[in-house]
Structure 1
């Protein structure tokens, strides 16, 4: 009954008070060897140090401050620039594609009809101007060559006949002149003798008069015969010269016919009866340098004059045709500086200028083509011949009218991390601060900083990767970078 009463008296609050007193007594007894105040102070110092470290680590994890040692700074090869005002050109970014330079497209067509004997160039092969691409057998060419040789032979024969006749008539005239002059001299001697006898009164006057008459007739006969022979010569040579002239006209016509078929002066000079051209061999030559992009012939096929046998494209320069929407046209000008970046080579900047704006708007896309001509030179990113291939996609950055921006930095200073864009600002010789920035893209590899940076601050443009690595090391608990 006594026990039951005690249990009744010890209600729940009293039980908790009794247990608490017991725990206090036990704790005091266990710590009898070390003073409580000393233990508490020591424990307090330990807690305070732990809380401080935790707090510091928490701050470091979210800190934008990065410090380096001198060795780290030197190894990082950090480069700095001063943010400040500058004249900038806003950039207009337009999509586009690489296309063939239409001014450098060559259609290879024969000037005669004929049957394809052989094909020398195939799809994808490079060609040089004047290089043989195929051979035809042409009856038309054979006839033209034979006619030329005939005309040339006739001219040669006519010239030889003329020269022979000139020589013949010259000899006849000379002989006639000699004979008749001799006759005149004889008659003159007779006349002089009769005249002398007459003066000596040895002879009568009649023989002298007859001698004089014979002398005059001889002179007259000489002039007459020479004149007649010269007239006959002139008439004959005139006919021969007319014939030579006519033959030369025919030869020139035959020569021009061969020239229209593609033969050169060298070909005509070397043309003879044994030449393959006479048998109708027509060599089709490449009109210019380029690459065969299309072939439309096969051996044995008959082709007409003017048929399109090959298409050759000279890809040493190509066009990049950008598409500008109607609302963007006022920002696009001929001669505007342009930087092209292709999807295939994102690290390569190809510089040029807007050379032409289409006069017609594409009815489907509602855009106007802006043409930039690019030299198709070998690239380090892809050391292949003619790396700019028609059909490649990309974009072009066009410079608009200049204006003054208050804070401008190189694009290389930007660090992109997921959706964040920031820069590292030097706050002390070995200390840098991460600074989130709001930017606007401008031309020339620069950006305008709209927020987050002031003019005159020193910004890192080289070595940002090292600073980013040091920042990450701190976030992962690797300790301070210094």
Structure 2
């Protein structure tokens, strides 16, 4: 009796399990990428087509503020000598012709002596020619003698002018040259003067130092205008050209932005960095921009017609961009897409969509929550 009751109970249990398995096996499996929006959610959704619109992409490249090389003077000595005094320090404003340093030079003294001798010889030969002309008129000397003395006078004049030119190359001013010819007093001090108005940004000498004409002693820069330079990767160089508007984000200035136009785009690629140099000019009357400041250059490309979708249509799922494509009857499918950077509220479509596709432009975030809820309930 007990055995019959146990067997009957076992058969009933097995029968019930078989019916449950058949029910699960018979349920159709749902697509986790599809969602049917309830009526309450449909009212919050806005559908928009994928359309062609003009897109202007923004290229972001790292750069920095630099000197305007057309407003920089690298100043050296004109003679070999020893630094006797300095009149300028780094950061000091100077005008054109301001004395920056003084150098004592035996080379300058020697060349002045050559000039004094050449000038004296020229004066002597000038007087000799005047006497020879008087004697020739009186028939005392021949024409050949007069010509010889005139030739000597011309040669000495050329030597004097050459010596004067050499002194000018050594930095002797015209006034000092005139005093040298009038008084014959030699000066062994050469002055290093600024060739432009600006600010002393570098100094490479000290009192007592021996310098050569090839040495760079001072760098003077006019900082009223500066350059902003950046290196554009060669793959993106086709998107930039002279005349394009650029915006500069300079961290040192806080939220203040600067703008300008590209005035130069390099014609060659740097083989080390595989980049192309670009630059723009900026006004710096206030002196806020300082060379070597870091900057991010935002280059606005020319607008071209491209497939775009509203930026609000994009949802992130599994670290990738997706959109919901409308299928009709309140059904939507989550589709992976590749999109570009946002511009004026729209994002260009790189792949995943075609013209005319209908996507959820507003409410995509809430629709994705509903999709996840339905997927969990389906499991």
Q: Does residue 348 in structure 1 map to residue 246 in structure 2?
A: no
Q: 1:117 and 2:18 equivalent?
A: no
Q: 2:219 aligns with which of 311, 331, 334?
A: 311
Q: Is the 8 A contact 1:341 1:350 kept in 2?
A: no
Aligned partners of 2:224 and 2:283 also within 8 Å = yes
Give the 3-state SS of the residue equivalent to 2:181 in structure 1.
Answer: coil
Number of equivalent positions:
266
More strand by share: 2
Change (3 A) 1:239 1:323: closer
Name the CA distance, whole Å, in 1 between partners of 2:64 and 2:189. Answer: 43
Instruction: Provide closer, same or farther for how the CA distance between residues 402 and 306 of structure 1 changes in structure 2, counting only shifts above 3 A.
Output: same
**Alignment correspondent of 1:331:** 239
**Cα displacement string for residues 284-329 of structure 1 (whole angstroms, at most 9, x for unaligned residues):** 1112233222222222222233222222233232221223234422
Q: Which residue in the other structure is 2:299 paired with?
A: 398
User: Which position in structure 1 is the counterpart of 2:177?
Assistant: 268
Tell me what 1:290 maps to.
Answer: 198
Structure 2 residue corresponding to 1:149, chosen from 94, 116, 134: 116
Q: 1:101 aligns with which of 68, 75, 81?
A: 68
Q: Say if 2:148 is the partner of 1:255.
A: no
Cα RMSD (Å) of the superposition?
3.0
1:336, 1:154 → 2: CA distance? Answer: 65
Equivalent position SS for 1:122? coil
CA distance in 2, matches of 1:289, 1:94: 33
- Give 1 or 2 for the bigger CA radius of gyration: 1
- TM-score w.r.t. length of structure 1: 0.49
CA 165–298 in structure 1, closer or farther in 2 if over 3 Å, else same: same
Unmatched runs of 5 consecutive residues or more in structure 1: 1-84, 173-228, 379-385, 408-438, 453-482
Larger helix share, 1 or 2 = 1
3-state secondary structure, aligned to 2:303: strand
Counterparts of 1:275 and 1:353, CA distance in 2: 57
Q: If the length of structure 2 is used for normalisation, what is the TM-score?
A: 0.62
The alignment partner of 2:77 has SS state of: coil
Deviation track 1:117-155 (CA, whole Å, cap 9, x = no partner) reads 110111111222221111111111111112112211221
Unaligned runs of 5+ in 2: 1-51, 309-339, 348-360, 363-379
Aligned residue for 2:256, secondary structure, equals strand
